[in-house]
Amino acid sequence: MKIGVCIKQVPDTETKVKVAADGRSLDAAGVTFVISPYDEYALEEALRIKEKQTGEVVVFSVGDERTGTSLRTALAMGADRAVHLKDAAFEGSDAVGLSRILAAALKPEAFDLILMGKQAVGTDRGQIGPRVAELLGLPHVSVVTHLEVGEGSFRAHREIEGAHEIVEGATPALVTAQKGLNEPRYASLKGILAAKKKEMKVLGAADLGIDPATVGHAGARTRWEKLELPPARTAGKMLKDMEPAAAAHELVRLLREEAKVI
């Protein structure tokens, strides 16, 4: 089983967001970057499938120099090789551009299965999976919490509101991971040492046969015109030093008469 995994490097979830001087992007100074948590579920699932069935796990990521550290982490967790998609022309790519870049890199590898997170935390778009599947002409299942992969076939549970859908199909296919799929492993010391010897290829627009005008700022169909902090919520009424019964009564009254939500 040959499996491709796409990961994205994102600001750590604890990050305090500061808007950069341009007024439309994140000020990255002092921010710690990590693999997006959903991508870790995707990678873990790929590694488990490989451990059961043998095969190869290849990780891909689009990003600048810094992204290399996340690819190394993925190699340390157990991926066999990494492909870093790096080119000045890729900067500013939106979901249209990113999916073009990833599809171009994944296509020649002819994977049996492609896995990625259901969304990257940060931009929270959740678009790349379905888009890459469409560009590659593959079926996809998104937001998957359970996956079984057999000889040329798969069965997945996909989380929806108050229920889950069961999807069956043939590989090759693309699956996006949701929390609950598994518990990702940590990179072991042995893994970290082994990762140093694993292949990490860097590919740019020319290597992928991508017209630079179709990706990056040039090819973007959506653009952030502004990034701002949300209006601060301020603390409201506090009921303290009250008897539980009195506090409960007063809260219900406020919700009814003041907030008018019950």
Partner 1 sequence: MANDVLVFIEVRGGQIKRPSLEALSEGSRTAKALGGKLIALAIGAGFSGQMGSIAAPGLEKILAADDEKVALYQPEIYAALLADAVRKTGCGIVFLSATAMGKDLGPRAAAKLEAGLAADCTHLDVEAGKLKAKRPVYSGKAIATVVFEGSPIFVSLRPNVFRMEEVPAGSAPVEKLEIPGDPAALRARTVSLEASEGAELDVSEASIVVSGGRAMKGPENFALIRDLAKALGGAMGASRAAVDAGWIDHQYQVGQTGKVVSPNLYVAIGISGAIQHLAGMSSSKVIVAINKDPEAPIFKLADYGIVGDLYEILPRLSEEVRKLKGQS
Ligand X SMILES: Cc1cc2nc3c(=O)[nH]c(=O)nc-3n(C[C@H](O)[C@H](O)[C@H](O)COP(=O)(O)OP(=O)(O)OC[C@H]3O[C@@H](n4cnc5c(N)ncnc54)[C@H](O)[C@@H]3O)c2cc1C
Q: Which of residues 165-224 bind ligand X (CB under 6 A)?
A: none
Instruction: Work out how close the CB of 37 gets to ligand X at its nearest, in angstroms, rounded to a whole number.
Output: 5
Q: How does strand 56-62 pair with strand 140-149?
A: unpaired
The number of residues in the chain equals 262
Instruction: Work out how close the CB of 12 gets to ligand X at its nearest, in angstroms, rounded to a whole number.
Output: 8
Q: How does strand 153-160 pair with strand 140-149?
A: antiparallel
End-to-end CA distance of the chain: 54
With CB under 6 A as the contact rule, the residue among 11, 37, 169, 184 that binds ligand X is 37
Segment 10 to 69, residues that bind partner 1, using CB under 8 A: 11, 13-17, 19, 24, 26, 37-38
| 254 to 221, 240, 246, 250: CA distances (angstroms) | 46, 15, 12, 6
List the single partner that 19 binds among partner 1, ligand X, none, CB under 5 to 8 Å by kind. Answer: partner 1
List the single partner that 244 binds among partner 1, ligand X, none, CB under 5 to 8 Å by kind. Answer: partner 1
- The 73-112 contact track toward partner 1, x by CB under 8 A, reads ---------------------xxx--x-------------
Say if CB 45 and CB 68 are below 8 A apart: no
Can you tell me the distance from the alpha carbon of 18 to that of 28, in angstroms, rounded to the nearest whole number? Answer: 8
130 binds ligand X (CB under 6 A): no
List the single partner that 4 binds among ligand X, partner 1, none, CB under 5 to 8 Å by kind. Answer: none
Residues in binding contact with partner 1, number by CB under 8 A:
87
| Cis before 184 (ω within 30) | no
